[in-house]
Amino acid sequence: MKTRTGIGQWNILCRWAFCLSLAEVTPPTPVEIPADSNVEMSWLVFGGEHHALYSALLKTRCVRDGLDTGDETLFRQFRLHLHRGIGDLAQLTFGSDA
């Protein structure tokens, strides 16, 4: 995806994916997400200087979806949105090649 988009940093691609998922009307499907990713980053690396904004967006989305905003829920919802958004971004980037 980095080569196809010209975006060389995973944290930026992950931000796009996260926001793409947040923009969808329905909540993400509560699936088990494999923990075998070769990309690992802290929340501050993910959000950069706007990490508080991404946190507020996630909390707002949880409230809209009727969920609590406890740490466990936020962590789970973040992973679900990120997972869905990466899939959506891959479809947009690669089309039927993905």
**Amino acid letter at 6?**
G
Distance CA 75, CA 48 (A): 17
Domain ranges in the chain? 2-30+42-97
Contacts of 68 (CB under 8 A, 6+ apart): 62
pLDDT in tens, 9-22: 889 999 999 999 99
Of residues 46 and 94, the one with the higher pLDDT is 46
What would the two tokens of residue 80 be? 């679900």
The three-point CA angle 85-50-22 to 5° equals 25
Sorting pLDDT into bands at 50, 70 and 90, what band is 90?
confident
**pLDDT greater at residue 34 or residue 69:** 69
